[in-house]
Structure 1
């Protein structure tokens, strides 16, 4: 993480920097092994919200970052309405600051931070709007910044250094995550169609699912050996300090595949050309999700302790439970072991995030 120099900034900007770290303290306290430290989380959370509200009209990047962190605290508290509200504030500030355009006078760190804040807003806009059945704030065709820089290259930037030009720029996990979330946006649009439409157009659904399935597979195949999921790559990324990001990226991919094919588990659904194959693919990705969780748990620096993984684990477990009830008898022992593994993870996650109780 890059340090921040607050010398020469205005009083209001210093306040912004202060409470940007206050919500981080609130979130970070949940991961402490000391119960007394964990108990401070709610007080930190309330303090950060109060400071943010007191300076709400100060539109700056620190406030944008603070709103994102506070939204995640609200997610951890199970307050989805407040979560959505803080994300909306962050997105609107990012638009008002025109973070997508950047500033040629900024050094490399500042320009990359602005890009990452903008792309974070892009990602949470899709996730949050989908969860709340709300319209997205960032519209298709809106000006976008360059994709995030490779993680280690970003961390090695020093204050005052110039930004990477397009020739020297190289892709990283964050860049792939953005490309993947763009696919998820289309999956989300399909799910909204399924919910809103009473008379399904099976040809449209089949063609849409096939197109997305092909693109998801092509996306995975293009990752290359260093980003493909394996125990060796988990260990390598853990050593580099990108272990949790690497794990979260792959869990996200399995989740997107699961929700794309989930509808085909329904035994009462009309038979379709590829329905049985898609149901099998849904089960495959649920098993892979479980494998990734188990592998990551063996490395503390790669363990997937993000709050959102509670929801994703429930989805994986529901697919496994379906297979336990309706699958082949030869799969029972393996499926039961995977369900138990998912439950162990949920029990551990509950220690850090109160909202796990709401999805369990």
Structure 2
């Protein structure tokens, strides 16, 4: 068989492959600013993906999109860090992650999953097209080594679960989250071993809490029982994000006072989300008396109020704190925390938009709160889109924006005349956000 000399990109596009430098990309790939497989073979020893011995299936491996040049890998990892990390999950100590990537020491399946996430935000259409190939390769490698129970396998499984959710595959999402939780329980996370560094102990906690939060999200979509019970909630909460980020990898003791981070408040907030889901599930599946519903809703509303009142001065949502967290590179996670609060509140009060009978002062107040939180969600998301340093483009944002929009639409159709212009503006802002999010997560189109 004749050995192909043209790069894969030129072969697929039926272009003539010309290169002036045997170690560089061809002319066509340079013009199109896409990775060149000809270049990849030439620099195989310099790749950031773990090296492997050439096999008879090497050409097949090249064709699956797994072999990316160094600069593209770093770009995709940074996209993941700036747009996903510390929002729907908190899985990495960033200095450790970046060092592992640059040294080629990171697990290949894990790196592919990170790159698959990051590829959705690339300016290059060719790179964005690699997302499916990167995901499938990561998934194959993960499943082939599933008995290797370790933190990297859990991290990979969580990312694959998120990638499945991003394309609307809720069954696979649940499967990979359950694999992750099972492994974490086998490893006795988040227990810290005597020889663990501060970074390792905190990383174990963050991975555990990521799974705790995910367990409350994905289980509701398929009406599945949660795997992590509330009694396992007793472990320490995550520390302040900047402190964690600044820790040296081999540090054995924390040399600054411990302070809860944004993720700590996300966790205490999601403690209320679970019961809100349970109440809404009961309303749909069972015959629950209105008085019982109102009593439960009132109790949960008090818990949400207590959570908001318990926030320290530097975690309260205001302009000063937005800028403070942006300067600490925590603008996106700070916005994510408060988007979650407005969403959970909207879900609790949603049932009160329609009068079920005799209205009381409490039910009227709950209906107004629902509208307030839906509008507040829209306003905060609009701010995040219009200001640098507050990226909120993870898939769940779209789901939450749709819930907010349904409330705004109700106001537009049935609300008082003086509320209609504001509702229309907020609805338009949500629509613009959803259009942008569809660019990254096309499966949202089926939800709009």
1:163 to 1:147, Cα distance in 2 relative to 1, 3 A? farther
Aligned residue in 2 for 1:306: 394
TM-superposed deviation, 1:276: 1.2
Instruction: For 1:134 and 1:313, locate their aligned partners in 2 and report how far apart those are by CA, in whole Å.
Output: 24
Selected match of 1:340 from 421, 424, 428? 428
Query: What is the aligned counterpart of 2:304 among 199, 216, 235?
Result: 216
**In the alignment, what sits opposite 1:172?**
261
The aligned runs of 1:1-360 (5 Å cut-off) are 1-3=94-96, 17-142=107-232, 144-164=234-254, 168-198=257-287, 200-267=288-355, 269-273=356-360, 274-360=362-448
Q: Does the 8 A contact of 1:75 with 1:355 survive in 2? A: no
State the Cα distance separating 1:225 from its structure 2 match: 2.6
CA contact (8 A) 2:96 2:249 kept: no
For residues 92 and 64 of structure 1, the distance between their equivalents in structure 2, rounded to whole angstroms, comes to 9
Quote the residue 1:9 is aligned against.
none
Structure 1 equivalent of residue 46 of structure 2: none
Counterpart of 1:141 in 2: which secondary structure? helix
Task: Report the Cα distance in structure 2 between the residues aligned to 1:61 and 1:232, rounded to whole angstroms.
Answer: 37
The answer (yes or no) to whether the contact 1:100–1:143 under 8 Å persists in 2 is no
Runs of 4+ in 1 over 4 A off after TM superposition: none
RMSD over equivalenced CA pairs, Å: 1.6
- Report if aligned partners of 1:238, 1:299 keep a CA contact under 8 Å in 2: no
Displacement of 1:107: 0.4
Deviation at 1:359, TM superposition (A): 1.2
TM-score normalised by structure 2 residue count: 0.75
Would you say the 8 A contact 2:113–2:138 is kept in 1?
yes
Distance (Å, rounded) in 1 between the aligned partners of 2:189 and 2:242? 22
Deviations 1:115-151 (A, max 9, x none): 0000000000011111111000012313642100110
Whole-Å Cα distance in 2 between the matches of residues 222 and 128 of structure 1? Answer: 27
Q: Quick one: distance in 1 between partners of 2:241 and 2:344?
A: 23
Whether contact under 8 Å (1:130, 1:188) holds in the other structure is yes
Q: Is the 8 A contact 1:109 1:163 kept in 2?
A: no
Separation of aligned partners in 1, 2:124 and 2:396: 23
Spell out, residue by residue over 1:227-273, the C-alpha distance to the aligned partner (whole angstroms, 9 max, x if none): 11123322322221111101111000000000000001124x22353
The answer as to whether partners of 1:49 and 1:70 remain within 8 angstroms in 2 is yes
CA distance in 1 between counterparts of 2:446 and 2:326 reads 31
* Structure 2 unaligned residues grouped into runs of 5+: 1-93
Deviation at 1:60, TM superposition (A): 0.8
Distance in structure 1 (CA, Å) of the matches to 2:388 and 2:126: 22
What TM-score, normalized to structure 1? 0.93
d(CA) in 2 for partners of 1:153 and 1:27? 26
2:50 matched residue in structure 1: none
Q: Work out which structure has the larger RCO, using CA pairs closer than 8 Å and 6 or more positions apart in sequence.
A: 1
Number of residue pairs the alignment of both structures matches: 349
Give the match's secondary structure for 1:94: helix
**How far 1:284 sits from its partner (Å)?**
0.5
